[in-house]
Structure 1
Amino acid sequence: MLKKTLAALALGSALLGAGQAMAANYLIDKEGQHAFVNFKISHLGYSWLYGTFRDFDGHFSFDAAQPETSKIQVKLKTASVDSNHAERDKHLRSPDFLNVAKHPTATFESTQVKPNGNGSFDILGNLSLNGVTKPVTIAARFIGEGKDPWGGYRAGFEGSTRLKLKDFDIQKDLGPASQEVELILSVEGVRQ
């Protein structure tokens, strides 16, 4: 009887400990506008053109003690591109660029998270954009986590990556200074 009780206590402690070591799941806070998918690209080598995608959602899992177990998934509506210029946005939605009629969504799904120390990570994953799926690496940094004023718990990150337009079958030639676009990400999630 004592052996069975000790075994049950040991098993219960092991399960409880395993549950505490598991990553928490977070929903990206799109509703509160605490997440952004922005971009910048050189305009003729003279200045920067900035824009954002207004409509996306996703989720991630994160455990600060074991960041390598983290995962992230994001789905973005390409027609939500906004560069603060209606005619340019119409062109960005056309087959010359995002071809939103044929490819209305872009997705990112992580395959590996590599901690680099000091709260920085390389997030490796597959980006599907304009009908092409390619591996990308996002250089990310943990900003912080904790309770919010509404009784929830949040965690936030920022990151960036550079994409060659031709890698994603965007053939419009914008000149030698504009062959790559930088994605700049800021993500805050609410623990579920």
Structure 2
Amino acid sequence: MTQAKPYKIPESVLVVIHSADYHVLLIERTDQPGFWQSVTGSKDYPDEELSETARREVQEETGIIVADAGVESSGDGGNRVPRAHLRDWQLSNIYDIYPVWRHRYAPGVTRNTEHVFGLLVQRDIPVTLAPREHTRYAWLPYREAADRCFSPSNAEAILQLPSYLAG
């Protein structure tokens, strides 16, 4: 007998991948063409640290590796960035889970808590999408990226990018 896939944990991260010049990397969902977003993903287990969830999801969805201390951005097109470039924005959103995705959660779970992170990278960093999750990507100026997002909380986070870079 095969074990059913475990329910998703209703606590997730949203990682706004951005460059120093206010461009944002967006990725298009495979299962919902036209739905553009930043990197998102739920914790794998309840005690997983949010920064680890963010690192894991960034690598799974884009191929970008958030490396431990001592690793410098290569500037030569490498896919590694220093861990210090991943910043917890200390911003959380609680939102209703879209009905199309509620089957992934335990019965009765209708809301998710999303924690926002920013990841500073160079725009020439190689991006390798997870083909089962995303079909294409685009680098856009932050206002245009916010307009393209299907998720209001994702759009709002992107619009706050200048504040977080200034702070």
Structure holding more strand per residue: 1
Which structure is larger by alpha-carbon Rg, 1 or 2?
A: 1
Higher relative contact order (CA 8 A, sep 6+): 2
Q: TM-score scaled to structure 2, two decimals?
A: 0.32
Structure holding more helix per residue: 2
